[in-house]
Amino acid sequence: MEGVDHLADERKKAEFNVEAMKIVWAGSQHNLEVSNRISKLVADDPAFRKDDRTMLPRKELFKNTLRKAAYAWKRINELRLSEEEASKLRFYVDETAYTDLHWGMFIPAIKGQGTDEQQRKWLPLAYKMQIIGCYAQTELGHGSNVQGLETTATFDPHTDEFVIHSPTLTSSKWWPGGLGKVSTHAVTYARLIIDGKDHGVHGFIVQLRSLEDHRPLPGITVGDIGMKFGNGAYNTMDNGVLRFDHVRIPRNQMLMKVSQVTREGKYKQSDVPRQLVYGTMVYVRQRIVADASCYLSRAVCIATRYSAVRRQFGSQNGGPETQVIDYKTQQSRLFPLLASAYAFRFVGEWLEWLYTDVMQRLQANDFSTLPEAHACTAGLKSLTTSVTADGIEECRKLCGGHGYLCTSGLPELFAVYVPACTYEGDNIVLLLQVARFLMKTVSQIGTGKQPVGTIAYMGRIEHLMQCRCNVQRGFAELSADLVEAAVAHCQLIVVSKFIEKLQQDIPGEGVKQQLEALCGIYYLSLLHKHQGDFLATSYLTPKQSALANDQLRALYSKVRPNAIALVDAFNYSDHFLSSILGRYDGNVYPKLYEAAWKDPLNESVVPDGYHEYVRPLLKQQLHTARL
């Protein structure tokens, strides 16, 4: 019934202060206040309706996204929202759009790789959205292998310009978000050629479209690459294709913080690692880790609430059937994901600190922690997106048949999220970077260099110090195993950051105890999943492994009465969740039934096509039957 909280009894079971946990999840009282205010602003505004997304044809869907983005920008300016509030608003609007790449990559690329002069020229235009930018790095033929990119930027000393060109079909820029139909400019990555010498990949600001009539400029061929996975989902984004036919740009549009080209055509590499040209990707990877906890927690919230509502089997003497959340199989699938959502939240907080620290060190030309920052952002992006993508699918399955309905919110959540395993670095390619970092650490141990930070534990691998093995040999042969080692390394980081979080002062009755239980579920579920490795290496005895599994089941029982309260602490509105199964009030069945009749297919009792395609069959069948 309307107005009844069907989960009230579940909420009464909570053994901790939910309001205090909301502050832990939000990060601070201030963050919680801003989240509440902006979430309500979006939820209460019909302009931000999103329940129709999966039913709109692409052109209408895309135009609707443009409308929302423009309206959001209007509201941001009308309400004079801060950058923090504006970012929250885009988060709660919950629709991928060209603005993600404008704010999330184009501007950071100029801030990270542009000189002060270039920042003074371009950032004010970008902040006012007088230009709209994208990040054009990936090509049809190369994405993972950045050093394999083919687009060229040839310096012309006669005109003090670069000539940007797409020499082959495979050099076509392919995938950049916002490129297909909207962006007026791009940070474009191309091979810097001076006097016939290839200096490798650098970033260039290139205008793509006229600011007068939005038509592509001379030499520019640009468009959308077509429909992507799922209805709605990432089809609100105009991922594009772009070709250059000898497009000329001024020399001062090469991003020159890391390296420069003088008027005379002399190439100067600052005494900084060339990998700083990859800095924007590092920034986005750390953002993606924080974002993974948001996506995973949304799916877990839906699945947990529905698991408490859904009853199936187990009726005793005509009494109510069993809540499926009480089945140990349901708990063993759901609660590790609940624990992972909290774990990723905390490791995301730490990674943001690490990234900020590295950026501050770079200001002082201190590059000592750059390798660790690269390994951590790459590895944690890979781990958290893989677990989150698989976790959203598992949450769909945890909801049975109704999880497959669009009104559950889970199919679109999955479709919009899964590319996170690929973009900003294919997850395996990134794990190989972590493996390379681990192997380099091993080789340095042999020289007496003690590892610090997240690899300090490797200093205790005594036997490797004796082996003097040539770690370079066999990397390709052992890469699949090394990737597993990289995953384990990242999982250790997540566990250690969860434990460090628990060592902080955590206010609120029962809050710390719940987080301790979730931390236990996180590491014990990993230990259970990988117990073969621990047994094979004698790190665990069979008895210890059995004890760990017993403790894991005991923790499921400890978390069970608190499960609804733990997902309430995510503080998601029904509008944001956009899920009938995940409704705060648990009023699922009436709302599912109500929603079914709103489907366009039910606008007519007899479907379009009946008379042309069904009736003739039936009549034919009737005729045959009479024979």
Ligand X SMILES: CCCCC/C=C\C/C=C\C/C=C\C/C=C\C/C=C\CCCCC(=O)SCCNC(=O)CCNC(=O)[C@H](O)C(C)(C)COP(=O)(O)OP(=O)(O)OC[C@H]1O[C@@H](n2cnc3c(N)ncnc32)[C@H](O)[C@@H]1OP(=O)(O)O
Cα–Cα distance, 545 to 510 (Å, whole number): 29
Cα–Cα distance, 5 to 13 (Å, whole number): 14
Report yes or no: 419 and 329 within 8 Å, Cβ to Cβ.
no
Among this protein's residues, is 516 annotated catalytic? no
Cα–Cα distance, 246 to 162 (Å, whole number): 9
The residues, any chain, with a CB within 8 Å of residue 487's CB and separated by 6 or more, are 379, 382, 383, 431
For the CB of residue 431, give the shortest distance to ligand FAD in the complex, in Å. Answer: 9
The residues, any chain, with a CB within 8 Å of residue 591's CB and separated by 6 or more, are 580, 583
Binding of ligand X by 135 (CB under 6 A): yes
Binding of ligand FAD by 188 (CB under 6 A): no
- Stretch near ligand X under the rule CB under 6 A, chosen from 3-11, 133-141, 178-186, 481-489: 133-141
User: In the window 428-467, what residues touch ligand X (CB under 6 A)?
Assistant: 429, 433, 436, 440
One residue of 104, 108, 176, 409 binding ligand FAD per CB under 6 A = 176
Cα–Cα distance, 224 to 175 (Å, whole number): 9
User: In the window 139-158, what residues touch ligand FAD (CB under 6 A)?
Assistant: 143-144
- Stretch near ligand X under the rule CB under 6 A, chosen from 238-246, 283-291, 328-336, 538-546: 283-291
- Specify the residue, 391 or 425, whose C-beta has the smaller distance to ligand X: 425
Binding of ligand X by 330 (CB under 6 A): no
**From the list ligand X, ligand FAD, none, partner contacted by residue 282 (C-beta under 5 to 8 A by kind):** ligand X
- Stretch near ligand X under the rule CB under 6 A, chosen from 130-138, 314-322, 554-562, 571-579: 130-138
- Specify the residue, 273 or 508, whose C-beta has the smaller distance to ligand X: 273
Report yes or no: 291 and 352 within 8 Å, Cβ to Cβ.
no
The residues, any chain, with a CB within 8 Å of residue 505's CB and separated by 6 or more, are none
- Specify the residue, 138 or 154, whose C-beta has the smaller distance to ligand FAD: 138
Tell me, by CB under 6 A, how many residues bind ligand FAD. Answer: 20
- Estimate the crossing angle of helix 511-529 against helix 479-502, to 10 degrees: 160
Binding of ligand FAD by 428 (CB under 6 A): yes
Per annotation, catalytic residue among 83, 321, 424, 594: 424
Cα–Cα distance, 12 to 21 (Å, whole number): 16
Report yes or no: 185 and 170 within 8 Å, Cβ to Cβ.
no
For the CB of residue 237, give the shortest distance to ligand X in the complex, in Å. Answer: 8
Closest CA to 164 of 240, 254, 225: 254
Tell me, by CB under 6 A, how many residues bind ligand X. Answer: 35
Report yes or no: 341 and 567 within 8 Å, Cβ to Cβ.
no
Segments in 418-538 forming alpha helices (H): 427-445, 462-467, 479-502, 511-529, 531-536
Burial letters for 374-409: b for 16+ Cβ neighbours within 10 Å, e otherwise? bbbbbbbbbbbbbbbbebbbbbbebbeebbebbbbb
**From the list ligand X, ligand FAD, none, partner contacted by residue 39 (C-beta under 5 to 8 A by kind):** none
Report yes or no: 281 and 189 within 8 Å, Cβ to Cβ.
no
For the CB of residue 199, give the shortest distance to ligand X in the complex, in Å. Answer: 13
**Dihedral angle over CA of 525, 526, 529, 531, nearest 10:** -110
- Specify the residue, 422 or 549, whose C-beta has the smaller distance to ligand FAD: 422
One residue of 85, 426, 516, 585 binding ligand FAD per CB under 6 A = 426
Binding of ligand X by 288 (CB under 6 A): yes
Residue nearest to ligand X (CB): 104
Query: Which positions touch ligand FAD (CB under 6 A)?
Result: 101, 135-138, 143-144, 175-177, 234, 239, 419, 422-423, 425-426, 428-429, 432
Active site positions, annotated: 424
Query: Which positions touch ligand X (CB under 6 A)?
Result: 96, 100-101, 104-105, 135, 137-138, 143-147, 177, 275, 278, 281-282, 284, 287-288, 291, 370-371, 374, 416-417, 420, 423-425, 429, 433, 436, 440
